[in-house]
Amino acid sequence: MPESKRNRSAESRRRFLKRTAAAIAGLPLYTAAVARAAPARRESVLVVGAGLAGLVAAHRLREAGKRVTLIEARERPGGRVRTLRGFFDEGIYGELGAARVAETHEYVLHWINDLRLALVPFAPDSGSSVMAVGGKRARSDVAAGEKLVAGLHPDERNLPVPELLRKYVSGVPDELGAGDVNLADPRWRAYDRLTWPAWLASQGASPAAIRLIMLGGDSSEFSALFMLQQIMLHRDSRQYFKIDGGMDRLPRGIAASAGVPIRYNCRLTKLESTDREVRAYCLNGGHTDVIAADRAVLALPYSMLRKVALVSPFSPEKMEVIDRLTYFDATRFLLQTATRFWTIEGLNGSARTDGPADIWDMSFGQRGKTGLISLTTGDDRIEDQLIKLPDTGQTAFGVRLASAAFPAMTTQTGKSFLQIWGEDPFAGGAFSVFKPGEMTAWAETMGKSEGRIHFAGEHLSPWNGWMEGALWSGERVAQEIIAA
């Protein structure tokens, strides 16, 4: 790395770490309250799911003196945080799930600090990204939009996509970006009535501008409120980072420090709850274990809870949310390339296309000559097509999507790996998303406890689809049980 660039990135890292320390100092962590509240009787709590939410809940409850049992259907902790190692040449590893940490994600930063993990920049601070629409591609500079789509309004021309977005969301109240916003408040209903593209159109955006704003992923059916909340939560996140050595170091670190043994390969299949106890039936290989506890935390996605036999059903409102919550069907391709050819062209390896595909250089910062392109795509139609294809056909599908942005992918791609999250037996989708009307209607029911059963997971937080949300909800549920 040239000296000037090394200094720049060292400087930006110093600034980042300084801000991180400040953020952590101001973080309203539940830890202190949890640690002080030593109960008179050692209540037992069963936590289901060793993803980030379940791990943090188990950790905090154990700290507070509870007798905690943690069960997990997989053979590893971390759920949707999964790092693929030992597969690609030159020791290059890739992320199949969570890949980025936003500078405003205070709960993630707290744990990274606590576990003494290091953050490195997610992407280079030089080089252009690419946009591809309708078979045309352009570097994402000011005039890219006009080169790719016809029909931008005069005041939309010459605006890079982030500016275009800012133009239309500038009137949205800041409060929507607060973690404790009350979405049951009737004032949010107007945003929840429309889909994201319909809301943008209602603000005066041209169809061409909407097309550009929506590049990278299919958000056409999402509630505008859902999209706007994500935008407002991340409006101050200018830099993104990744964990040096792989994202799974975070859940593995929390699992190691939680002080709670994890019972792996233990899948919750049936749940009974009375006013005195909870009984969980956990399928472990060929036999079923029955685990009794005073309370349970269900830290598994609602897409998975749907498959658990509930002997004592929850309230009709809760059952409706569990049955209907949508999980986005993201598919991640990891495509190893012979070289990092994009750097020679002055590109940074990232792109957004109408495939739709969200692409970036996952080999950035890793040693070696080969590259690793990450491509995330998603909608039901793509998933349906993919699962019918043989392995070679699936790779070809990913390469074709990537070549819309980087034509050299057709000759550069070697090894590839594919994770279809909708087909994952213990995730049932990538992350929770909301359609019009759901967020405001479900706001009070989503995470509410039902008798001795409590709920946690990214889906029950404002940060849907982020590790931050999973950690936040794990802390929240622990506090709820301690206060009960």
Ligand X SMILES: Cc1cc2nc3c(=O)[nH]c(=O)nc-3n(C[C@H](O)[C@H](O)[C@H](O)COP(=O)(O)OP(=O)(O)OC[C@H]3O[C@@H](n4cnc5c(N)ncnc54)[C@H](O)[C@@H]3O)c2cc1C
| Interface residue with ligand X, options 45, 47, 64, 81 (CB under 6 A) | 81
| Interface residue with ligand X, options 212, 441, 467, 481 (CB under 6 A) | 467
Point out which span in 112-120, 155-163, 174-182, 465-473 binds ligand X (CB under 6 A). Answer: 465-473
Q: Does 332 bind ligand X (CB under 6 A)?
A: yes
Pick 100 or 454: Cβ nearer ligand X: 100
Strand bridging mode 128-133 / 136-139: antiparallel
Distance between CA atoms of residues 284 and 281, nearest Å: 9
| Interface residue with ligand X, options 188, 360, 455, 466 (CB under 6 A) | 466
CB-based contact 251:51 (threshold 8 Å): yes
Strand order in 240-243's β-sheet?
101-102, 240-243, 119-121
The upper half-sphere exposure of residue 319, i.e. CA atoms within 13 Å in the direction of its Cβ, equals 9
Q: In the bound complex, what is the minimum distance in angstroms from residue 229's beta carbon to ligand X? A: 15
Residue nearest to ligand X (CB): 51
DSSP string covering 135-204:
TEEEESSTTHHHHH-S---GGGTT--HHHHHHHHHTTS-GGGGSTT--TTSGGGHHHHSSBHHHHHHHTT
Give the pair of three-digit tokens for residue 128: 């252009």
Task: State how far the alpha carbon of 72 is from the alpha carbons of 97, 147, 282, 366, in Å.
Answer: 18, 50, 9, 31
CB-based contact 431:464 (threshold 8 Å): yes
Interface positions, 336-365, toward ligand X (CB under 6 A): none
Pick 156 or 383: Cβ nearer ligand X: 383
Q: Does 84 bind ligand X (CB under 6 A)?
A: no
**Owner of token pair 């009307």:** 437
Q: In the bound complex, what is the minimum distance in angstroms from residue 269's beta carbon to ligand X? A: 7
| Interface residue with ligand X, options 34, 58, 98, 481 (CB under 6 A) | 98
Point out which span in 5-13, 83-91, 215-223, 457-465 binds ligand X (CB under 6 A). Answer: 457-465
Region of 155 (left: φ > 0; alpha: ψ -120 to 50; beta: rest) is alpha
Q: Does 382 bind ligand X (CB under 6 A)?
A: no
Q: Does 71 bind ligand X (CB under 6 A)?
A: yes
Selection from 423, 322, 437, 323 nearest residue 380 by Cα: 423
Interface positions, 43-62, toward ligand X (CB under 6 A): 48-54
Q: In the bound complex, what is the minimum distance in angstroms from residue 203's beta carbon to ligand X? A: 28
Q: In the bound complex, what is the minimum distance in angstroms from residue 417's beta carbon to ligand X? A: 13
| Interface residue with ligand X, options 100, 110, 211, 252 (CB under 6 A) | 100
Pick 120 or 408: Cβ nearer ligand X: 120
Strand bridging mode 371-378 / 357-361: antiparallel
Strand bridging mode 295-298 / 44-48: parallel
Q: Does 462 bind ligand X (CB under 6 A)?
A: no
Pick 197 or 457: Cβ nearer ligand X: 457
Strand partners, 47: 70, 297
**Owner of token pair 């996605």:** 301
Number of residues that bind ligand X (CB under 6 A): 41
Collapsing DSSP states into helix, strand and coil, what is residue 331? strand
Point out which span in 8-16, 33-41, 154-162, 293-301 binds ligand X (CB under 6 A). Answer: 293-301
Pick 145 or 356: Cβ nearer ligand X: 356
Q: Does 268 bind ligand X (CB under 6 A)?
A: yes
Interface positions, 167-226, toward ligand X (CB under 6 A): none
The upper half-sphere exposure of residue 114, i.e. CA atoms within 13 Å in the direction of its Cβ, equals 20
Q: Does 426 bind ligand X (CB under 6 A)?
A: yes
The gap between the terminal CA atoms of the chain, to the nearest Å, is: 55
What are the contacts of 392-395 at 24+ separation with CB within 8 A? 394/418, 395/333, 395/335
Pick 152 or 481: Cβ nearer ligand X: 481
Pick 168 or 226: Cβ nearer ligand X: 226
Pick 379 or 458: Cβ nearer ligand X: 458
Q: Is the dihedral of CA 201, 466, 384, 336 positive or negative?
A: positive
Q: Does 301 bind ligand X (CB under 6 A)?
A: yes
Length of the chain: 484
CB-based contact 356:376 (threshold 8 Å): no
Interface positions, 406-425, toward ligand X (CB under 6 A): 421
Q: Does 431 bind ligand X (CB under 6 A)?
A: yes
Pick 168 or 360: Cβ nearer ligand X: 360
Q: In the bound complex, what is the minimum distance in angstroms from residue 104's beta carbon to ligand X? A: 11
Point out which span in 78-86, 177-185, 338-346, 395-403 binds ligand X (CB under 6 A). Answer: 78-86
Pick 144 or 266: Cβ nearer ligand X: 266
Q: In the bound complex, what is the minimum distance in angstroms from residue 411's beta carbon to ligand X? A: 27
Q: Does 427 bind ligand X (CB under 6 A)?
A: yes
Binding residues for ligand X (CB under 6 A): 48-54, 71-74, 79-81, 97-100, 267-268, 299-301, 304, 308, 330, 332, 376, 421, 426-427, 430-431, 457-458, 465-470
